[in-house]
Structure 1
């Protein structure tokens, strides 16, 4: 810090990064301030300046003074990084101690307490504030904490399934369940078995009984607002089962896009969203959510988009500019188990892959937002996607194909209907007659010149101009 910068700091007064001290009166107060700065964003302790920003200077043995500062630093666990410089302003000497910010996965304590800097005050963290601090530093991970579960609470079939995915299907023939848990850091056995939360999330008979937040809630809405609920499911099993059931339910509640190429009368069926993108988003939500939060993962399906939200703000050590380029793991054991089951790669490639898949499908890039304590992924589908299955539940697949064809071509002949569905002409005529009886179609003309069009009400429902 040069003289001009120092004078500016003094002029601005005490803040989250500056502490002004007239003298070194108390080693414990200095230790407290160094600890607070190190646990926040670093800062400067400026000795020889009053709280009112008056530069009085120091008259002391500077060697001894700096030794006192060093002793104050030694009282802190783990020892932070500091440096000091002597400056002369208007013939008065002042000492500036610079405190470096702690590394991402480190925290400093003084007298067994964690101190942080809030505005111009040192604050001792307690209760929820302390838990949040340790979580943000990834010093407190939910999946690494001990539970009260016993071996009887675990489902051996789930363990066996996991081992099979790792190519270790014969492991339990020669080893015990305890051996598996301890060797995989899912439990510790120091006289008494302590099973970690991660084992509950993956292998418990009833995971939801232990952690009610272990839930994925999926809701499909009829409009673009979260008002008219059409379908809803809550998934409360183990991590793997929840992922698979959630993806299946989403797939069941998505429409298809139908394209009929000019050079072929047969339709091509296209997923509304690339399922690989949805899978990646769900797996990421499970892997990176904040399990200390009692909120569930929420998936909202709208006609024009999907929103996937999970509790958990941006992890410390990951700035927004590097999101999607760097992998930071809030739940390290959960992430490792998912990697063993081939759900994640651990290479930080998931987000770029989602973007590429959406672009290949001709869709907008996914949107990734941190909103308060939640991370939300927005996936948007193509405009004007058709939802015939929702609107015409009394029609079979062949008849739905006919409706789709009419949306794009306005008229259809019985021979064309037979071709696009690969059925005989009598079967085509039977289907078309049934659609007329149901009120979906009208027949125009007779004999070989006859063709079919959408009934006025059907055309209005589908917003098709006749």
Structure 2
């Protein structure tokens, strides 16, 4: 006998009561799912045993499909009795949203959506978005409510790329409709745009370290946000104890953080009255953008499938050279993390898309407590100058040499370095790692071992 478990795509009901109608509506308006009737909340099977009861349930559900829902969900609802005598109702994702209870009409009292493991009534904005998406509504192409627009920031960026914002270009880019009025795309690129991207950094106690908001032309916003994000992408420098080479690691490796910022701005649903948020925590960065996945599944986008909610905006960024290899952002981000033992996380709801990028340097913060415990293999995390590195490299290869011999070796690579500079570096900056053994006349310098510290 099957053990039934309720989750985001599964609902359990003991009986086929009227409440099941709203559950069906919720699955139609979300990503589909299955309702099992004849199962208790704890997952134990009650079943619908006798044929008369099965016939009654079968007729009732058939009538609902024909009369209770609108639009009629033809072909989207399949049902049968399984081997446990449980009625399984399989509901596919609807294609003509919003679906609603016919007796209630398309308003919050009759429209339901699935959120996590439960349903709730959709609000007016969510109903309107469903109507627009079902009719292939394009926010970019719609006429802007604001028509008194200027484009100083956008024009400066165009001029940097030897492009003039002519009336013809406005039309071909989609900034103006056939009526001559500005579109929402024009609004997004205008100086008057109220779209906000918020960037914040928190300490370990969740206090703000940095809190900034960027608004105006999205072209300018993207530039400013990328600059701010890059400043917050800390660089960790470790010196390899065996080669004395610097190993530099960004907290968010490769192009990961830039790709996800660009993804958020390009794919946001600007019809939703919400901000794009980029938040830096000690152990991660989290990017939240309005709008779920557009015309694709999570598996699709993880495999690099390209879908564009705002294709004209993407075209503008591409024309300005602000996009590289667009459409590969998530696969490239995953690739950036392949050598770090941690992975980015992606989550989508009906209205928002969330990206969490692990801070790869945070994972190492507590792993190195001793700056150098062995002169051959241990990493050095203290800041050391280029001269200091050359000295330590020379002493590793030539232990016990004096400053005369040391200066001869160092000057091969750094001819401008004097013996006094080497002495000063030894006394002031390298005492943790280097020691002098023997007399002033016959002694020499050695790298310290762990036992010497």
Normalising by structure 2, we get a TM-score of 0.59
Q: 2:263 aligns with which of 275, 284, 289?
A: 284
After superposition, residues 51-450 of structure 1 pair within 5 angstroms as: 55=53, 72=67, 76-77=70-71, 80-81=74-75, 101-103=92-94, 106-108=97-99, 111-113=105-107, 115-116=111-112, 125-130=122-127, 146=144, 148=146, 150-158=148-156, 160=158, 164=161, 169-170=162-163, 172=165, 175-176=166-167, 179-188=168-177, 190=179, 192-196=181-185, 199-201=186-188, 203-205=189-191, 210-212=194-196, 214-218=197-201, 225=204, 232=210, 234=212, 236=214, 238-246=220-228, 248-250=230-232, 253-259=234-240, 267-273=244-250, 274-288=253-267, 292-294=273-275, 296-300=277-281, 302=282, 307-312=284-289, 315=293, 324-327=302-305, 331-333=309-311, 334-340=313-319, 341=321, 343-347=323-327, 349-359=328-338, 362-370=339-347, 374-381=354-361, 384=368, 386-389=380-383, 397-399=385-387, 401=389, 414=403, 419=410, 422-424=413-415, 427-433=418-424, 436-437=427-428, 440=431, 444=436, 445-447=439-441, 449-450=443-444
- The CA distance in 1 between the partners of 2:132 and 2:380, in whole Å, is 45
Q: Which has the larger helix fraction?
A: 1
| Alpha-carbon offset, residue 297 of structure 1 | 0.9
| Alpha-carbon offset, residue 376 of structure 1 | 0.9
- The CA distance in 1 between the partners of 2:388 and 2:299, in whole Å, is 46
Flag the 1:419–1:132 CA change in 2: closer, same or farther, 3 A: farther
Task: Please give the secondary structure, in 1, of the residue aligned with 2:238.
Answer: strand
Flag the 1:129–1:185 CA change in 2: closer, same or farther, 3 A: same
| Alpha-carbon offset, residue 309 of structure 1 | 0.9
Q: Is the Cα–Cα contact under 8 Å of residues 80 and 100 in structure 1 kept in the other structure? A: no
Task: Please give the secondary structure, in 2, of the residue aligned with 1:255.
Answer: strand
Q: Is the Cα–Cα contact under 8 Å of residues 235 and 246 in structure 1 kept in the other structure? A: no
Flag the 1:278–1:80 CA change in 2: closer, same or farther, 3 A: same
- The CA distance in 1 between the partners of 2:230 and 2:301, in whole Å, is 28
After superposition, the C-alpha distances for 1:8-39 in whole angstroms (9 at most, x for unaligned) are x99831379944xxxxxxxxxxxx99866632
| Alpha-carbon offset, residue 416 of structure 1 | 5.1
Q: Is the Cα–Cα contact under 8 Å of residues 218 and 232 in structure 1 kept in the other structure? A: yes
Flag the 1:286–1:295 CA change in 2: closer, same or farther, 3 A: closer
- The CA distance in 1 between the partners of 2:358 and 2:227, in whole Å, is 20
After superposition, the C-alpha distances for 1:123-144 in whole angstroms (9 at most, x for unaligned) are 7633355368679989778766
Q: Is the Cα–Cα contact under 8 Å of residues 285 and 309 in structure 1 kept in the other structure? A: no
Flag the 1:287–1:70 CA change in 2: closer, same or farther, 3 A: closer
| Alpha-carbon offset, residue 260 of structure 1 | 6.9
Flag the 1:101–1:365 CA change in 2: closer, same or farther, 3 A: same
Q: Is the Cα–Cα contact under 8 Å of residues 149 and 191 in structure 2 kept in the other structure? A: no
Unaligned runs of 5+ in 2: 1-10, 38-49, 82-86, 369-378
- The CA distance in 1 between the partners of 2:106 and 2:206, in whole Å, is 51
Flag the 1:104–1:422 CA change in 2: closer, same or farther, 3 A: farther
- The CA distance in 1 between the partners of 2:94 and 2:402, in whole Å, is 72
- The CA distance in 2 between the partners of 1:233 and 1:122, in whole Å, is 35
Q: Is the Cα–Cα contact under 8 Å of residues 217 and 297 in structure 1 kept in the other structure? A: yes
Flag the 1:126–1:419 CA change in 2: closer, same or farther, 3 A: same
What is the aligned residue count? Answer: 381
Unaligned runs of 5+ in 1: 1-8, 20-31, 47-52, 88-95
Task: Please give the secondary structure, in 2, of the residue aligned with 1:152.
Answer: coil
| Alpha-carbon offset, residue 430 of structure 1 | 1.4
